[in-house]
C-alpha cells in the first residue's frame, strides 16, 4: 500500500576501480623519475641558512657533501651537542676531510675531477670557526670549488 516502496533494482552502481592501478602507477613513475635515492643518513641536524641569490647545482653526481651541525637528538648523549662534521655516514674530524676528498676524487672519472664541487651544508647556528677550518682544509687538498648550501628565502 505504501507509495514509497523500495525498488530493488535502483542500486547505486559501483565505481569502477579498474583504472585505480593506472593512476597509482603514474604516480609511482613520477616519483621514480623526480627523486634520487637517499644515500646517507643524517646524523647532524642541519637547518640551512636563507639566501636569495642562489644558483642550482648542475651536476649532482660530482658533488661531495660535508654536513656540519649539532648531532641529532638521540646521538647527543654519545657525542654531545657541539657542532660536528659528518662525512658520508659518520662523524669525522677536520683532519679526515683530506682522505674523504681523496676517496671522492678517486671515484670520479679522470675528466670529471676538475668539476668536483664540495657542498658545505652547515646549520645556520654553526659558528664560523669550524667552517673556516673546513675551508682551510679544503684549500689544502685543492678542492677549491665549493658551494654554501642555502635555501630560498620564503617571500
Tell me how far apart the alpha carbons of residues 108 and 147 are, in angstroms, rounded to a whole number.
19
Q: Does 109 engage in binding with another protein (CB under 8 A)?
A: no
Q: Three cell numbers at 133?
A: 677550518
Classify residue 88 by burial, with Cβ atoms within 10 Å: 0-12, 13-18, 19+: middle
Question: Per-residue contact track with another protein, 46 to 75, x per CB under 8 A?
Answer: ---xxxxxxxxx--x--x------------
β-pair partners for 90: 87
Tell me how far apart the alpha carbons of residues 65 and 5 are, in angstroms, rounded to a whole number.
72
Q: Does 103 engage in binding with another protein (CB under 8 A)?
A: no
Question: Per-residue contact track with another protein, 8 to 47, x per CB under 8 A?
Answer: ---------xx-xx--xx-xx--xx-xxxxx---------
Q: Does 78 engage in binding with another protein (CB under 8 A)?
A: no
Tell me how far apart the alpha carbons of residues 119 and 121 are, in angstroms, rounded to a whole number.
6
Footprint on this chain of another protein (rule: CB under 8 A): 17-18, 20-21, 24-25, 27-28, 31-32, 34-38, 49-57, 60, 63, 117, 119, 122-129, 131-132, 135-136, 138-140, 142, 144-152
Amino acid at each position: 500500500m505504501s507509495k514509497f516502496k523500495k525498488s530493488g533494482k535502483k542500486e547505486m552502481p559501483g565505481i569502477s576501480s579498474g583504472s585505480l592501478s593506472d593512476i597509482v602507477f603514474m604516480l609511482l613513475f613520477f616519483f621514480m623519475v623526480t627523486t634520487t635515492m637517499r644515500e646517507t643518513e643524517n646524523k647532524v641536524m642541519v637547518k640551512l641558512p636563507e639566501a636569495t641569490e642562489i644558483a642550482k647545482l648542475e651536476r649532482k653526481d660530482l658533488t661531495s657533501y660535508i654536513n656540519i651541525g649539532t648531532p641529532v637528538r638521540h646521538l647527543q648523549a654519545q657525542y654531545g651537542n657541539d657542532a660536528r662534521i659528518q662525512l658520508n655516514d659518520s662523524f669525522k674530524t677536520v683532519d679526515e676531510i683530506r682522505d674523504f676528498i681523496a676517496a671522492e676524487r678517486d671515484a670520479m672519472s679522470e675528466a670529471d675531477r676538475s668539476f668536483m664541487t664540495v657542498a658545505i651544508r652547515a646549520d645556520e647556528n654553526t659558528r664560523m670557526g669550524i667552517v673556516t677550518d673546513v675551508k682551510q682544509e679544503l684549500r689544502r687538498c685543492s678542492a677549491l670549488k665549493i658551494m654554501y648550501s642555502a635555501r630560498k628565502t620564503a617571500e
